[in-house]
Amino acid sequence: MRVLVVLLLLLSGCSIAGGATDGDRTTVTFRLWDEQVAKAYEESFAAFEQRNTGIDVTVQLVPWADYWTKLPADIAAGTAADIFWTNTSNYGLYADSGHLLPITDGQRSGWTRSVVDLYTRGGTLWGVPQLWDSIALFYNKELVEQAGVDPATLTWNPSGNGDTFLPAARKLTVDRAGKSADQSDFNPGTISRYGFNASFDSQAVGWNFVGSNGGTWQNGDAFDYADQPKTVEAIQYVVDLINKHHVAPSAADTNTNGDKTLQLFTQGRLALFQSGPYHLKNVQEGAKFRWGLAPLLTGPSGRVGVVHGVAAVASAKTPHREATEKVLSWIGSADGARPIAAGGFAFPGVVAAEPDFTEYWRQQGVDVTPFRDAANGVTFPAPVGPRVQAGATAAQPILQQMFLGRLPVPDGLRQAQAAANKAIEP
Amino acid sequence: MGSRGFPVRRTLTGYAFLAPSLLGVIGFLLVPVLVVIGISLHRWDLVSPARWVGLDNYAALLDDLAFWQSLLITGMFVALVVPAQVVLGLLTAVLLDRRLPGSVVFRTVFVLPWISAPLALGVVWRWIFDPSDGALNAFTGVRVEWLSDPDLALPAVVVATVWQHVGYVALFFLAGLAGIPAQFPEAARIDGANAGQVFRRITLPLLRPTMFFVVVTGLLTTFQTFDTVYAMTQGGPAGATDVIASLIYREAFTNFRMGRAAAMSVVLLLLLITVTVAQQLYFRKRTTYEVS
């Protein structure tokens, strides 16, 4: 019984051991899920070790697919790393159960404000911001020029008043015969190129529409969206883009394949791709055409985008708190954060290192200002709570049916919300 | 079998030889089962201390709709997969047993899916069933949303699973067929039996031990299918392929309700023991012919 074996392994704590003290040298372990960024950390910690000869920092890489199952198992077994990466949906569980060290670092005024807010719970800051993502619009320059669309000025409106986005998306969607979606003989059954990546991707698509329409998603830790008219209206608009207006790929293609829209964009089969800086390198490597970045679409309430951040948190059970806090302080400094920014991996959590990131991409011919503007504007909070991940998982199959058009939006949201709130009960 | 010498010592020697596999059985089977039973009596989210709750987790399963739904889906899945793979496996074995040219090559080809990683195969099948760029829809020219349609997703996963198992089943039937002495069917033919009669009256009854093995192992593995489902649908759409192992995994590692997940595992274990015992009784009642 595979499940039994997994449970046993988990109990016997067969996992990478935490840090150790060897003579007068202390080893602090640091865990993350991103292979690319791990290289930047290696560089950063090499500089740290030169300044702090008594401390070694070991970087542990645990792939994303195993990260959130391995982490609680290691914490239960007492073998978690001294410092580890976390996202907003997962840290609440550890903060609430007393597994994290509170962050009291004096450098916090130099950290990205929105990420500090995301990791503040019960009045205490629990993590040192490491990187952040906001949302903007990647566009295929050749396609928008052909269609005569200016991606920087697009506005959507569920009432249809002043909606310049939908006509543009229809112009950009083309079937195999070369007819665009605004022509009468367009065949939605044979679309070869899509206008926009409307899909069940809450961070890059759904929540930005909700926020830009003045809607909300959570109330405290509870999910509260099904009875918010603005929220329902916004999600209806997104679903209609797929099933009614046919300007986005079918949810059957995108529901279970999170990379589908990225692939379509880099293949030149998607004109407007709303996404985050986490896709900059993929697009840069994959796209064989000229592309650019425009601000997030404007909604009735303006541009309200999701800002999500990754933070480094420290285990409260670390046997060498002093060394751990020194490392935390280093990765919260501009010098410590610089390798992440200068390598173009992500916007750093330390504001003073940000120009390095912007500069990396400027040299690649990409202006990343739209991401920065989105983060500095009004933002939509990424969901939080100790069991928010369980809630999202419970809602997922229902929301997927809704995106497929098999469930009407109001019903889908109501059922999803009920399932999610049941799942977040401890 | 004389009992002279030292019976105690002999017994100990016997156990000493058994020790390696015994340790395996205890360490990897018995202990985990006991641990899971222990966990099922607690409320535990991995990061907070476990709390004793007695049989609460089992009581909660009684009115857990998702659990019953999942058992039902697992039952349907097993009912579709096992007969299909046994019939197709037998058919394949009979054809391979004809020793037609290329039999050896085909024998290897049929077993390939069994020795490949189910997770990788699941990813390949997901691509085959992909609605827009998938091989199947490209081949037929009709757009069918195989894995997003709640009515089609389970049959699609069944096809992938049967395809993976058939070669393995055929291998056992092939061994079973090889164990039937040639004079039995020959004698029957001399007595005037036609090919169909020989198969029904001679071959099938003599294959009964193989049949028992193939059906039991087929049921046990199919009941616990996880990887193929995880790779192809993750239990979706709308829970249409949410087999019990998939539900247990989610309950444990996404919802962090270890106690509940363990209780489900225990129920599954009891269910499998019941099914196996029932089968054993059923097959025991029928005569098996010792051929040696």
Domains of chain A, start order: 18-134+307-380 (3.40.190.10), 136-306+383-423 (3.40.190.10)
d(CA B98, CA B93): 9
Name the A residues in 8-27 with CB < 8 Å from any B CB. 8, 11
Phi and psi of B215, rounded to 5°? -70, -45
Per cent of chain A over pLDDT 90 is 78
Name the residue with higher pLDDT: A82 or A376: A82
pLDDT of residue A205: 96
Q: Are residues B121 and B164 in the same domain?
A: yes
Q: Is the pLDDT of residue A13 over 50?
A: no
Q: Are residues B276 and B201 in the same domain?
A: yes
Q: In this structure, is residue B238 part of a structural domain?
A: yes
For residue A249, is the peptide bond before it cis, meaning its omega torsion is within 30 degrees of 0?
Answer: no
Q: In this structure, is residue B290 part of a structural domain?
A: no
Q: Is the pLDDT of residue B1 over 60?
A: no
pLDDT (tens digit per residue) in B220-233: 999 999 999 999 99
CB count within 10 Å of CB B213 equals 15
d(CA A239, CA A403): 6
Count of all residues that appear for chain A in the document: 426
Q: Are residues B272 and B132 in the same domain?
A: yes
ipTM of the complex: 0.77
Instruction: Name the minimum distance, in Å, from the CA of A231 to any CA of chain B.
Output: 22
pLDDT of residue A4: 47
- The β-bridge partners of A25 are A22
Q: In this structure, is residue B292 part of a structural domain?
A: no
Q: Give the side-chain half-sphere CA count within 13 A for B65.
A: 3
Instruction: Name the minimum distance, in Å, from the CA of B60 to any CA of chain A.
Output: 13
d(CA B241, CA A225): 28
Name the residue with higher pLDDT: A7 or B13: B13
Q: Are residues B26 and B155 in the same domain?
A: no
d(CA B220, CA A243): 42
How does DSSP classify residue A203? I
Phi and psi of A35, rounded to 5°? -65, -40
Q: Is the pLDDT of residue B274 over 90?
A: yes
Q: Which residue of A has its CA nearest to B130?
A: A253
pLDDT of residue B290: 56
Determine which of A44-48, A95-99, A133-137 has the lowest per-residue pLDDT on average: A95-99
Positive or negative: CA dihedral B106, B112, B115, B118:
negative
Summary mean pLDDT of chain A:
91
Q: Is the pLDDT of residue A343 over 60?
A: yes
d(CA B259, CA B43): 5
Name the residue with higher pLDDT: A231 or A3: A231
Q: CB–CB of B45 and A397 under 8 A?
A: no
d(CA A193, CA A180): 9
Q: Are residues B124 and B16 in the same domain?
A: no
> Which residue segment(s) compose the domain that B26 sits in?
1-30
pLDDT (tens digit per residue) in A376-426: 889 998 888 888 888 998 999 999 999 999 999 999 999 999 999 999 887
Name the A residues in 233-252 with CB < 8 Å from any B CB. 249-252
Q: Are residues B50 and B20 in the same domain?
A: no
Q: Are residues B143 and B228 in the same domain?
A: yes
pLDDT of residue B4: 56
d(CA A326, CA A231): 44
Q: Which residue of B has its CA nearest to A387?
A: B255
Q: In this structure, is residue B61 part of a structural domain?
A: yes
Answer yes or no: are the C-beta atoms of A181 and A189 closer than 8 Å: no
CB count within 10 Å of CB B16 equals 10
Instruction: Name the minimum distance, in Å, from the CA of A69 to any CA of chain B.
Output: 6
Q: Are residues B65 and B9 in the same domain?
A: no
Nearest to B148 among A3, A5, A404 (CB): A404
- The β-bridge partners of A124 are A121
Q: Are residues B14 and B139 in the same domain?
A: no
Instruction: Name the minimum distance, in Å, from the CA of B290 to any CA of chain A.
Output: 32
Q: CB–CB of A252 and B145 under 8 A?
A: yes
Mutate to test the interface with A, among B64, B132, B276 (most CBs of A within 10 A): B132
Q: Which residue of B has its CA nearest to A424?
A: B255
Q: Which residue of B has its CA nearest to A99?
A: B47
Q: Which two tokens stand for residue A414?
A: 């109501």
Mutate to test the interface with A, among B74, B227, B253 (most CBs of A within 10 A): B253
Q: Which residue of A has its CA nearest to B144?
A: A252
Name the A residues in 76-95 with CB < 8 Å from any B CB. 76, 93-94
Q: Give the side-chain half-sphere CA count within 13 A for A205.
A: 22
pLDDT of residue B280: 86
| Amino acid letter, B282 | Y
Nearest to A401 among B48, B130, B238 (CB): B238
d(CA A417, CA B9): 67
Q: Is the pLDDT of residue A6 over 50?
A: no
pLDDT of residue A3: 47
**pLDDT classification of A17: cutoffs 50, 70, 90:** very low
Answer yes or no: are the C-beta atoms of B189 and B202 closer than 8 Å: no
SS3 content of chain B, % helix, strand, coil (to 5): 75, 0, 25
Name the A residues in 362-421 with CB < 8 Å from any B CB. 387, 389-390, 393-394, 396-398, 400-401, 404, 406
pLDDT (tens digit per residue) in B16-69: 888 888 898 898 999 999 999 999 999 998 888 899 999 999 999 998 999 999
Q: Are residues B202 and B109 in the same domain?
A: yes
**pLDDT classification of B287: cutoffs 50, 70, 90:** low
Is A73 in CB contact (< 8 Å) with chain B?
yes
Q: Are residues B137 and B217 in the same domain?
A: yes
Q: Which residue of A has its CA nearest to B221?
A: A1
**pLDDT classification of B98: cutoffs 50, 70, 90:** confident
Q: CB–CB of B253 and A68 under 8 A?
A: yes
Domain count, chain B: 2
Q: CB–CB of B238 and A4 under 8 A?
A: no
pLDDT of residue A20: 52
Return the biggest CA–CA distance within chain B.
Answer: 78
Phi and psi of A293, rounded to 5°? -120, 130
pLDDT of residue A344: 94
d(CA B141, CA A190): 11
Q: Is the pLDDT of residue B14 over 60?
A: yes
Per cent of chain A over pLDDT 70 is 95
Q: In terms of Cα–Cα distance, which of B230, B256, B254, B231 is closest to B242?
A: B230
pLDDT of residue A48: 96
d(CA B85, CA B92): 10
Instruction: Name the minimum distance, in Å, from the CA of B196 to any CA of chain A.
Output: 40
* B138: CATH: 1.10.3720.10
Positive or negative: CA dihedral B221, B233, B236, A397:
positive
Is A69 in CB contact (< 8 Å) with chain B?
yes
pLDDT of residue A105: 80
Question: Alpha helices, DSSP H only, in B56-149?
Answer: 56-62, 65-97, 103-115, 118-128, 135-140
Q: Which residue of B has its CA nearest to A80?
A: B47
Q: Which residue of A has its CA nearest to B258?
A: A7
**pLDDT classification of B292: cutoffs 50, 70, 90:** very low
Phi and psi of A257, rounded to 5°? -125, 90
d(CA A300, CA A381): 18
| Amino acid letter, B77 | F
pLDDT (tens digit per residue) in A261-286: 999 999 999 999 999 999 999 999 99
pLDDT of residue B163: 95
pLDDT of residue A108: 87
pLDDT of residue A389: 86
Answer yes or no: are the C-beta atoms of B251 and B57 closer than 8 Å: no
Query: Three-state SS for B270?
Result: helix
pLDDT of residue B289: 55
Mean pLDDT of A91-95: 90
Only one residue has tokens 């593995």, namely B221
Per cent of chain B over pLDDT 70 is 95
Q: Are residues B125 and B232 in the same domain?
A: yes
Q: Is the pLDDT of residue B166 over 60?
A: yes
Nearest to B131 among A75, A253, A389 (CB): A253
d(CA B205, CA B202): 6
**pLDDT classification of A9: cutoffs 50, 70, 90:** very low
Q: Is the pLDDT of residue A118 over 50?
A: yes
d(CA B272, CA B224): 10
> Exposure of B143 by Cβ count < 10 A (0-12 exposed, 13-18 middle, 19+ buried)?
middle
